[in-house]
């Protein structure tokens, strides 16, 4: 793993994510094109495509051999150890209804492990950056996940894949979490929830079969902020998986959240 590549990638990602963020900020409540994306009700705007084009073009200009996978464009280039994952507008459904909860996410993977995550929240101008082995920062300030003395009075984020819909097991677990904690959050902007956990603003995340370009930047954010990411069996989560079922939290709360998930699915 070449640290020089990661450093250069970090500098580029920060620059282009701010550029794309400025466009999404200017277009918020002012976009023109909105169309349905799939049978699950997901939508896409011209902002998704504009931001995506800017990000892809500039990455290719510096790393022409790297493979890229982006939310709208799909897979670009041949298989490579270095893979960029791009979500040009994480929270498009929120953006489309004028709800100011959305981010842009750029991740660099090396041999299927995240080594760089950059997430930008344009309306608050919060920039989250995580580099493997170097921690996680928000606007250049190091952040750490927090332990809650009473996790059951805490806030837990829920993330589910588009295809999950009202899967009976998912509904059962979701409702169980909702009644066991102070609040269950469903933001429809997953990267923001991961950043909130890394920053200590929420206390945990339960993710039900949600894999995509918005996942791995968040996982790196939490891990580098001192958090734990495990599957529903309690095993540490590494690499990439097409159908992940995950729990993320401060290490202090591993057993409590595992027990909640097991009870909720039983």
Is 91 exposed, middle or buried (CB count within 10 Å of its CB: 0-12, 13-18, 19+)?
buried
The stretch 242-256 carries a mean pLDDT of: 97
Contact 197, 157 (CB under 8 A): yes
Contact 194, 229 (CB under 8 A): no
The stretch 3-12 carries a mean pLDDT of: 97
**Can you tell me whether residue 70 is helix, strand or coil?**
strand
Q: What is the pLDDT of residue 39?
A: 64
Give 210-223 pLDDT, tens digit per residue: 999 999 999 999 99
Is 89 exposed, middle or buried (CB count within 10 Å of its CB: 0-12, 13-18, 19+)?
buried
Using CA atoms, how far apart are residues 249 and 197, in angstroms rounded to an integer?
Answer: 7
**Residue 32, pLDDT above cutoff 70:** no
The stretch 113-117 carries a mean pLDDT of: 98
Q: Which of 109, 91, 117, 135 is nearest to 14 (CA)?
A: 117
Q: What is the pLDDT of residue 30?
A: 84
In degrees, to the nearest 5, what angle opens at C-alpha 72 toward C-alphas 136 and 211? Answer: 55
Give 95-114 pLDDT, tens digit per residue: 999 999 999 999 999 999 99
Contact 76, 68 (CB under 8 A): yes
Q: Which of 158, 141, 42 is nearest to 89 (CA)?
A: 42
Give 136-182 pLDDT, tens digit per residue: 999 999 999 999 999 999 999 999 998 899 999 999 999 999 999 99
For 239, the token pair is: 């690499």
- Average pLDDT of the residues of the chain: 95
CB atoms within 10 A of CB 64: 8
First to last CA, the chain: 42
In degrees, to the nearest 5, what angle opens at C-alpha 160 toward C-alphas 182 and 191? Answer: 80
Give 51-99 pLDDT, tens digit per residue: 999 999 999 999 999 999 998 889 999 999 999 999 999 999 999 999 9
The stretch 224-230 carries a mean pLDDT of: 98
**What is the sign, positive or negative, of the torsion defined by CA atoms of 83, 136, 94, 257?**
positive
**Residue 228, pLDDT above cutoff 70:** yes
**Residue 124, pLDDT above cutoff 80:** yes
In degrees, to the nearest 5, what angle opens at C-alpha 264 toward C-alphas 259 and 265? Answer: 105
Q: Which domains can be identified in the chain, with CATH numbers?
A: 3-142 (3.30.540.10), 151-265 (3.40.190.80)
């Amino acid at each position: 793993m070449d640290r020089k590549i990661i450093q250069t990638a970090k500098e580029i990602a920060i620059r282009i994510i701010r550029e794309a963020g400025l466009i999404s900020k200017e277009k918020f409540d002012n976009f023109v094109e909105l169309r349905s994306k799939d049978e699950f009700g997901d939508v896409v705007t011209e902002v998704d495509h504009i931001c995506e084009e800017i990000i892809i073009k500039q990455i290719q200009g510096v790393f022409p051999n790297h493979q890229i996978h982006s939310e709208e464009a799909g897979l670009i280039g041949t298989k490579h150890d270095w893979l960029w994952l791009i979500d040009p507008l994480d929270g498009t459904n929120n953006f489309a209804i004028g709800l100011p909860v959305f981010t842009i996410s750029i991740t660099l993977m090396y041999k299927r492990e995240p080594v760089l995550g950059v997430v930008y929240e344009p309306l608050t101008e919060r920039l989250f950056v995580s580099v493997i082995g170097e921690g996680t920062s928000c606007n250049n300030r190091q952040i750490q996940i927090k332990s809650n003395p009473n996790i059951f009075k805490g806030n837990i984020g829920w993330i589910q894949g588009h295809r999950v819909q009202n899967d009976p097991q998912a509904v059962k677990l979701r409702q169980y979490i909702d009644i066991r904690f102070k609040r269950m959050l469903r933001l429809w902007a997953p990267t923001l929830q991961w950043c909130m956990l890394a920053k200590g603003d929420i206390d945990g995340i339960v993710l039900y079969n949600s894999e995509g370009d918005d996942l791995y930047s968040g996982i790196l954010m939490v891990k580098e902020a001192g958090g734990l990411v495990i599957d529903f069996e309690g095993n540490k989560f590494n690499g990439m998986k097409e159908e992940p079922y995950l729990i993320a939290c401060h290490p202090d709360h591993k057993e409590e959240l595992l027990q909640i998930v097991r009870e909720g699915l039983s």
